[in-house]
């Protein structure tokens, strides 16, 4: 069953980058150390920064990210502290190398999902984007996690460089035994905004609307037919769909090691964060920041998309937008029958 996953104020989603260091140098990585910091947060800071998002009994979910979060020597105690505070779910996003024997240091009861990033059905395609040997190490890591009883998901970031292999992913997902599949659209942030995807012959690394709609939903349905839950961004609004900005109607927080807290991931290359963590407290920043733009209504849909990456918006001959772009946090979800 396909459904649009509406924004919810019932829970905060905390995307916590506990470091920006990584063992890989993926060509489409969105991490921007000049804007996000180069620190590896001490455990005591991680504990303190988890606290504000679960105050007053608010339900919250945390996703630990990097860089590569398993490079952090204190990831396991950070996970346990999140559970102690009462976070409803804990996810670890990883490239699959699983440093510091993390699978031996936590249990399936403590981690809801290990979410693995893989960007090709074959090593050739994936490793051109993520680095030599990465496909083998990541798939090995998935199998190891599954064997140890952990719930696993896989994230595939679709770009012009790997779209041709998305149709081959259902068989691989079934073979690996993952339970959830996340299809992402490549963002023009970090390395991809700085020319990291330059071998696309001058074209945008993002698919056009027709390319996306012809490819992604059919593959998503095939994956769901295998008993795997699939989530992917809506990207383009249909005529009857209202535009909503998650920055106004949901509680999503993207935390970086330098203390910046964004509400919109499209803004992360710029010092326009609406919140900061100072003295372990969540403090609003002054204008102008991302929050000052969220309420603007424009024909193109998402105002941040129009400002930051306007090249992915098409226009009709009369100058009107060919399609409205949805908030990047609005998702479609297909549950297995």
Say yes or no to pLDDT of 107 above 90.
yes
- Tell me: the pLDDT tens digits for 301-310? 999 999 988 8
- The string of DSSP codes covering 256-303 is -TTSEEES-GGGTTSS--SEEEETTEEEEPPSSSGGGTTT--BTTB-H
For 254, the enclosing helix (H) or strand (E) is: strand 251-255
Residue 272: pLDDT band (50, 70, 90) is: very high
d(CA 312, CA 299): 14
Percent of the chain exceeding pLDDT 90 equals: 84
> Can you give the residue ranges of every domain in the chain?
2-334
Q: Which CATH number is associated with domain 2-334?
A: 3.20.20.70
Task: With 0.85 as the threshold, say if the pTM is over it.
Answer: yes
- Tell me: the pLDDT tens digits for 58-79? 899 999 999 999 999 999 999 9
- Identify which of 33, 90, 97 has the alpha carbon closest to the alpha carbon of residue 68: 97
The pLDDT value recorded for residue 191 is 81
d(CA 217, CA 163): 13
- Tell me: the pLDDT tens digits for 200-229? 556 788 899 999 999 999 999 999 999 999
Say yes or no to pLDDT of 274 above 60.
yes
Say yes or no to pLDDT of 85 above 80.
yes
CA distances from 21 to 33, 39, 141, 187, 269 (A): 9, 8, 19, 20, 17
The answer to whether residues 144 and 97 touch, using CB atoms and an 8 Å cutoff, is no
The pLDDT value recorded for residue 199 is 59
């Amino acid at each position: 069953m396909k459904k649009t996953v509406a924004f919810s104020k019932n829970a905060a989603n905390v995307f916590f980058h506990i470091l920006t260091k990584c063992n890989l140098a993926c060509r489409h990585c969105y991490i921007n150390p000049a804007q996000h910091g180069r620190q590896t947060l001490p455990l005591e800071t991680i504990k303190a920064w988890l606290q504000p998002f679960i105050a007053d009994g608010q339900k919250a979910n945390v996703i630990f990210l990097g860089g590569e979060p398993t490079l952090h020597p204190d990831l396991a105690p950070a996970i346990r502290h999140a559970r102690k505070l009462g976070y409803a779910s804990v996810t670890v996003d990883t490239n699959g190398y699983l440093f510091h024997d993390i699978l031996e240091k936590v249990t399936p009861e403590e981690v809801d999902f290990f979410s693995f990033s893989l960007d090709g059905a074959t090593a050739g395609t994936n490793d051109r984007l993520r680095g030599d040997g990465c496909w083998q190490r990541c798939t090995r890591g998935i199998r190891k996690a599954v064997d140890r009883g952990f719930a696993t998901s896989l994230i595939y970031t679709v770009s012009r460089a790997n779209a041709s292999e998305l149709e081959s992913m259902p068989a691989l997902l079934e073979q690996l035994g993952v339970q959830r599949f996340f299809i992402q659209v490549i963002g023009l942030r970090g390395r991809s905004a700085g020319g990291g995807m330059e071998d696309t012959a001058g074209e945008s690394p993002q698919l056009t609307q027709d390319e996306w709609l012809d490819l992604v939903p059919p593959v998503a349905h095939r994956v769901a037919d295998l008993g795997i839950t699939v989530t992917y961004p809506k990207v383009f609004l249909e005529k009857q769909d209202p535009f909503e900005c998650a920055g106004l109607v949901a509680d999503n927080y993207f935390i970086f090691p330098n203390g910046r807290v964004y509400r919109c991931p499209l803004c992360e290359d710029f010092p326009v964060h609406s919140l900061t963590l100072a003295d372990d407290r969540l403090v609003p920043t002054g204008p102008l920041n991302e929050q000052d733009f969220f309420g603007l209504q424009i024909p193109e849909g998402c105002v941040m998309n129009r400002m930051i990456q306007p090249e992915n918006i098409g226009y009709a001959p009369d100058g009107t937008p060919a399609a409205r772009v949805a908030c990047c946090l609005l998702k479609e979800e297909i549950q297995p029958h």
